Amino acid sequence: MLQQRVSRRKILAGALGATATLALPGAAAPAAPAVKKGTSLRLWILKTYVEPTNKAVEASAQRWAQKHGATVTVEYFTFEDMQTKYVAAIENRSTPDVGQLETGAPARFAGMGQLLDLTSFARQIEGEVGKPPANVAPVTVIGDKVYAIPWYIMAPFWYVWRDVFEKNKVKLPTTFEEARQAAQALNRPKDNFYGLGQSWNRTADGYGVMQSLMYSYGVGWAGKDGKHRSIKTPAMQQVMRWATDIYKEGLQPADTLTWTGSGNNENFIARNIAQTSNGPSITFALENALAKATDAKDRKLKEEALANHLALPHPAGPDGRRMWAIAMSFGIFKSSKDPEAAMSLVAHLLSPEETLNVMKDSSGQFAPVLDKARAASKDYFSKNESYRNFGRAAEWFVGTGWPGPVTAAAAEVQASNVLTDAPAKVIVDKWSVDQAIDWEEKKIKEIYDTLRAG
Amino acid sequence: MHRDGSLGVAVARPRAAGRRPALGRDTGTALLFLSPLFVLVVGLILYPCFRAVWLSLTDKLVGYPERFVGLRNYEYLVHDDAFHQVIRNSLVFTVGSVALKVVTGLAMALVLDAVVKGRTFFRGLFLLPWITSTVIIALTWRWMFDAFPGRGFFNSVLLDLGLMDRPIAFMATPAGAMAAVVVANWWRGFPFFGVSLLAGMHSIPRELYEAASVDGAVAWRRFWHITLPGLKHVLIVTTLLSFILTINDFNIIYVMTRGGPGSATQVFATYSYQVAFGQLRWGRGVTISIFLAPLLVVGIALITRALLRERT
Amino acid sequence: MRARTVLAAVGLIGFLLVILVPFWWIASMSFKTYEQLQFATSIYVPRQFTWENYVGLWTETRFPLWLRNSLTTALVVTLVTTVIASLGGYAVARLRFPGRESVASLILILYLIPPALLFIPLYRVLAELGATNSLSALFLSYPTFTVPFCTWLLIGFFKALPEELEEAALIDGATRIRAFVRVLLPLAAPGLVASAVFAFTLSWNEFLYALVFIQDERSLTVPVGLNLLIYGDVFHWGQLMAASVITTIPVVALYAFIHRWMVEGLAAGAVKG
C-alpha cells in the first residue's frame, strides 16, 4: 500500500492553522500555509486543444513560484495518455504533488487512497474562491469528504452552420430528436454534405455525448446511491435507436465511426457536416484561422466562417438537458513531500484573479466552476451568442454515473469503452438494439460486481 | 562455392596437430563471455516472465495490492467474446499478411535475381520499408487510406481519375480496416522475405540449374523443382519468424486503428494494453498475452527443429 | 531471355512504385500548408511549397528533444548490445562447452518472447529499480530484444569465418580473449556493423516500451512523441508528416552506406541459422 509520507501531525497543523485564521474576524485573505523558500513542486496539467490556455496555466503557476521563491515543474498529459500517465505514476510511486484530475479521476484515485483529504482546505479557501454549484460538487466530494477542488469545465456544445439552417428554413435544434430531424432535412450526400457528424469513438466526443444522450433521456446505469441500476428500460431503447439510426439513415459521412478526436472538427470546419457536438476548440480554430488570414479575400472567407458558425447548448432529451463534460479539478497526492506548499499553489491557481487570467486565453473552452470566478467571468462570456452559451456550461453539467455520485465503478464504466462499443456493435456488427443493450448491461454489471471499493 | 566463400555444408576441419578438444574445455571462458548475456536474460527477461505468470493468477488492479485468485482471469477470457474476437482478428491479420509477404517476397527475389546491373542498389532500395519506423509506417498508411481526399492517396487518385464521385471510407468497415492494417504490415515486411529468399536462392548450387537446362527444363519447371525446394529451409524459418512477430504486433494496429472500428482489428497486444492501461486490470491484461505462450512454444520448437535439421 | 528481361523490368518498376509512392506521399504532404491539407487543394504536388511544417515542428514542439532522446537511446543500446552479443555469439560459435546447442536455441527463443507479454511485469521491475520515466528504462529494456537478435546473427556470422587464424593465434599462446579481440573481431567487421545497425534500427523503431515506461514529455522518444503531436482536437498533419520525413532520413542515410553488409548479415542469419 502507498506509504503516507505526510505525517498526520502535519495535516493537523495545517488544519489548525486554517481554523485559527478563520477564527480571526474579517479574515478575507486565505491563510496561505507557509511556503519554505526553495520548495520544489511537481504540477500535472492537461494539455488542452487551445494552446494559449496551456501556456497561461503554466504562467500562473510560475507566478506563484516567483512569489514564494519556490520552483514548480509543470508536466503535461493529454486526453490520450491521461490514464496511462496517472496509472504509471501510481504504480511507480512517482505521483506529482498537485495534479489536474478529470471528471472520474478524483473518485478513482481517492478510492485507491492516493489523494489527500482536502475537506478543511476547501472550507478554508471558500472565502476567497467560493464554492462549486451543487451539480458539480459530486465530482470532487466522495463519501462526505472533499478530495479535489474543481476549477473549470470544458463542455461540449452543439455546433451548427446557421447559414445552412437558415437557407433551408430549418429550425435550430434544442433536443436530440430535433437534431436528428434537422439532419434529415439538411442531408445532401450527393454533394458530400451530411446533416450530422457524431462518432461513437473512444474519445470524449464519443463517450461524453453518449452519456449526455443517456442522462437527458433519464437513463443511468447507477442509482442515486451509486449502486448499479439496470439500463434495460424503454428510455434506453430510445437512446440506442437515436444513436444507431443516425448511421442507418445515412445522415453522416461514411467514415464517421472511425474518426479520431479531431475528425468531427475537421469535417465541420470543412463544411462537410451541418451539426456536431464539440468543445469550444472549433471556435478557437476558426478564430485562429482568421488571425492568420493572408489577404483580404482570405480574411473575408474566414470572417464569414466565424460568423456563420454557432455553438448551441447541448441538446435536451425528454427528461431534461443534461450535459456530460470534462470537469477539471485539482487534487493533492498523499505522496507530496510538502502538502502545505501544494495547498498554497492550489489556492493561488484557484483564485478568481488567476482563474480569469487563464480563462481569457481559452477561447471560451474554460468555464470556471467556483462561484467567485464564475461571477467575474460574466463579461468575458457575453462576447457573442456562442460565448454566452459557453459561459452557462456549469448549469447543465452532470458527472459520470448520474444520477449517482461519481464513483470509481462509474469511472471504470466510462473507461472501459462499453458505452460507445454498444452502438458500434449495432452499426458495425449488425446486432439488434436489444442485443446491444443486453450486452452493455452485462458488461456494466460485471464492472460493478468485480471492482473493489477502496 | 557460395557467395560468401563458405561451402554451406559441414566439412570436417583439419585440427591443428596436438590439440585434442576435450568436452567442456572452454567452459570457464565460455562462462565469462556469456555472463553479461546471462545477467540480462535472467534479470530482464526470465524474471519478468515469471512475474507475468504470477500476475496472471492475481486480480491486480492499479493502485490496489494484488490478491491471488487462481485461474479466474483465464476462465474469464475463455468466456469473453471480446477475446474470442481478438483471437480471430489476430489469426486473420497474421495469416493474411504473412501469406502476402511470402508471395511478394518470392516475386521480389525473382525480380532482383533477374536484375544484373545495380542489383545491390535496388536490393538496398527495396529494404526501405523494412528499416522505417513502424509508427511512421502506420501513420503513412493511415493517411494513404484516409477518406479525406487531401490526405488519402487512394481516394485522391480514384476521385481524380473520375472512377468515383465520392470518397470511400476504406477503414470504416471491419473488413476494410483489417485489410488496411494487413497492407501496412505486408508493405513493411515483404522486403525482409525478399532479401532472405534472394540470399537463399544464391546458395542453391548453380550446377543444379545447369543440369536442368541441359535436360531441357523450362524456367517454370526449374523454379518449381529446384528453386522452391532449395528455398524450403529459408522459407520455413522466415515464415515462422514472421508469423511469431506479426501475431504479437502492437505498433501498426495501435497507431492505425487503435483496434477499431469497434473491436474489428483488436489483436492480442492491443487488447492487452487496453485492458492493462485503460481498464487498469493488470492481472487480466497479462493473461491475454500469456494465452499466446503455447502458440509461441510450438512455433519456436518448429523453428529450432528446422534449423537443427539443416545443420546436420 | 527476352521474356525474362521484360518481366524483370515490369517487376522492378512495380516494386519501385509500391515502395516509393508512400514515401513520396508523406514527403509531399509535409510541404503543404495547413489549409491545403484541410481543404484538399493541390493534391499531388504542393503548389504552395512551404517549409512551415518543418519550422513549426522544430520550434513549436519538443521534437528536437525527442530526436535527441531517440538518438541517445539508440547509441547506448547499440553499444551495450554489440558488446554483449559479440561476447555471447563468440562463445556459442567458437567455444566448446556443455550445453552449447541449448544456449543457441535459447537465444532464439528469447528473441521471440513478445514485448506484448513482458511490458507489464517489466514495468514493475523497472519501477522497483527506479528506472521508469527516464531513458534508463529504455537502456535496460531494449537490450532484451536487441541482444538475442544480434547474438543469433553474430553466431551465424562468426561460424562462417574460418577458424584457422584463431587456432594459429591460440597455438602461439594467445588467450581466448586475445584471439577474440585481435583476430576474430577485425575479420568479423561486416557482421559487427550489420549487428550494430540492426540494434540501432530496432531501438530507433521501438514504440511500446517507450510508450509505457516513460511519461515525462521531455524524456520521450520520437515514435511516442509523434503519437503525442496529436493534440486531441487539432491535428497538425503537416508537422506529423515533416516529423516522419526527418525521422526517416538518418536511418536511410545509414543504410545507404552499409546496406551491403547488413543484407549479408540478414542472409547469413536466415540461411545459416
pLDDT tens-digit series, residues B172-183: 888 999 999 999
Average pLDDT, chain B: 84
Report which residue type is found at B251. Answer: N
Q: Which residues does chain A have within 8 Å of residue B280's beta carbon, measured at their own beta carbons? A: 83, 87, 412, 415
- Range of C83's domain? 61-267
Residues A259-287 have a mean pLDDT of: 88
pLDDT tens-digit series, residues B78-132: 998 889 999 999 999 999 999 999 999 999 999 998 888 888 888 888 988 988 8
Distance of alpha carbon B150 from alpha carbon C189, whole angstroms:
47
Looking at the structure, do residues C110 and C5 belong to the same domain, yes or no?
no
Q: What percent of chain B has pLDDT over 70?
A: 90
Residues B278-289 have a mean pLDDT of: 89
Asked whether residue A393 carries a pLDDT value surpassing 50, the answer given is: yes
Mean pLDDT is lowest, of A87-91, C39-43, C95-99, C198-202, for C39-43
Q: DSSP readout, C48-108?
A: S---HHHHHHHHHSSHHHHHHHHHHHHHHHHHHHHHHHHHHHHHHHH---TTHHHHHHHHH
Taking CA atoms, what residue in C is nearest to B37?
C84
pLDDT tens-digit series, residues C166-182: 788 778 877 777 777 87
- Name the band, by pLDDT with cuts 50, 70 and 90, for residue C270: low
Chain B residues 72-91 with CB within 8 Å of chain C: none
- Name the band, by pLDDT with cuts 50, 70 and 90, for residue A230: very high
Q: Which of A112, A254, A428 sits opposite B169 (nearest CB)?
A: A254
Peptide bond preceding C114 in cis form (omega within 30 of 0): no
Looking at the structure, do residues C122 and C35 belong to the same domain, yes or no?
no
Asked whether residue B312 carries a pLDDT value surpassing 80, the answer given is: no
Looking at the structure, do residues C31 and C89 belong to the same domain, yes or no?
no
- Name the band, by pLDDT with cuts 50, 70 and 90, for residue C273: very low
pLDDT tens-digit series, residues B14-60: 444 444 445 557 778 888 888 999 999 999 999 999 999 999 999 88
Looking at the structure, do residues C86 and C209 belong to the same domain, yes or no?
yes
- Contact (CB, 8 A) for A321 and A216: yes
Looking at the structure, do residues C136 and C256 belong to the same domain, yes or no?
yes
pLDDT tens-digit series, residues A25-70: 433 444 455 678 888 999 999 988 788 899 999 999 999 999 999 9
Q: What percent of chain A has pLDDT over 70?
A: 92
pLDDT tens-digit series, residues A329-359: 999 999 999 999 999 999 999 999 999 999 9
Q: Which residues does chain B have within 8 Å of residue A112's beta carbon, measured at their own beta carbons? A: 62-64
Burial of C60 (0-12, 13-18, 19+ CB in 10 A): exposed
Domains delineated in chain B: 80-311 (1.10.3720.10)
Q: How many CA atoms lie within 13 A of B22 on its CB side?
A: 4
- The superfamily (CATH) of domain A8-155+325-398 is Periplasmic binding protein-like II (3.40.190.10)
pLDDT value for C28: 86
3-state secondary structure of A122: helix
Looking at the structure, do residues C2 and C86 belong to the same domain, yes or no?
no
Q: Which residues does chain A have within 8 Å of residue B147's beta carbon, measured at their own beta carbons? A: 253-255
B70 and chain C in contact, CB less than 8 A: no
* C116 within some domain: yes
Domain end residue (candidates: C12, C31, C50): C50
Angle between helices B119-126 and C2-30 (to 10 degrees): 40
Looking at the structure, do residues C93 and C18 belong to the same domain, yes or no?
no
* C55 within some domain: no
DSSP-assigned beta bridge partners for residue A146: A141
Looking at the structure, do residues C73 and C42 belong to the same domain, yes or no?
no
Q: Which of B59, B62, B257 sits opposite A87 (nearest CB)?
A: B62
Q: What percent of chain C has pLDDT over 70?
A: 87
- Name the band, by pLDDT with cuts 50, 70 and 90, for residue A237: very high
Looking at the structure, do residues C65 and C45 belong to the same domain, yes or no?
no
- Name the band, by pLDDT with cuts 50, 70 and 90, for residue C61: confident
3-state secondary structure of C252: helix
pLDDT value for C106: 84
Residues B181-204 have a mean pLDDT of: 91
Q: What percent of chain C has pLDDT over 90?
A: 25
Q: Which residues does chain A have within 8 Å of residue C123's beta carbon, measured at their own beta carbons? A: 88, 91
Question: How many residue pairs from chains B and C have C-beta atoms closer than 8 A?
Answer: 294
- Of A413, A253, A385, nearest to A308 by C-alpha is A385
Tell me which CATH code domain A157-323+416-450 carries: 3.40.190.10
Chain A residues 212-271 with CB within 8 Å of chain C: 260-262, 265-266, 269-270
Mean pLDDT is lowest, of A19-23, A28-32, B44-48, C52-56, for A19-23
Looking at the structure, do residues C260 and C156 belong to the same domain, yes or no?
yes
Distance of alpha carbon B139 from alpha carbon C22, whole angstroms:
11
pLDDT value for A437: 96
The count of structural domains within chain C is: 2
The CATH 3.40.190.10 domain(s) of chain A lie at: 8-155+325-398, 157-323+416-450
Looking at the structure, do residues C80 and C5 belong to the same domain, yes or no?
no
Distance of alpha carbon C260 from alpha carbon B123, whole angstroms:
9
Tell me if A47 and C231 make a contact (CB, 8 A cut-off). Answer: yes
Chain B residues 250-289 with CB within 8 Å of chain C: 250-251, 254-255, 268-269, 272-273, 276-277, 282, 285-286, 289
Taking CA atoms, what residue in A is nearest to B170?
A255
Give C236 to chain A, closest Cα distance, Å.
Answer: 10
* C273 within some domain: no
pLDDT value for C40: 61
CATH of the domain at C100: 1.10.3720.10
Main-chain dihedrals φ then ψ at residue A316, nearest 5 degrees: -100, 165
* C56 within some domain: no
Q: Which of C20, C22, C147 sits opposite B37 (nearest CB)?
A: C147
Q: Which of B114, B248, B286 sits opposite C4 (nearest CB)?
A: B114
Looking at the structure, do residues C13 and C81 belong to the same domain, yes or no?
no
Q: DSSP readout, A336-397?
A: -S-HHHHHHHHHHHHSHHHHHHHHHTTTT--EE-SHHHHHHTTTGGGSSHHHHHHHTHHHHE
- Contact (CB, 8 A) for B249 and B273: no
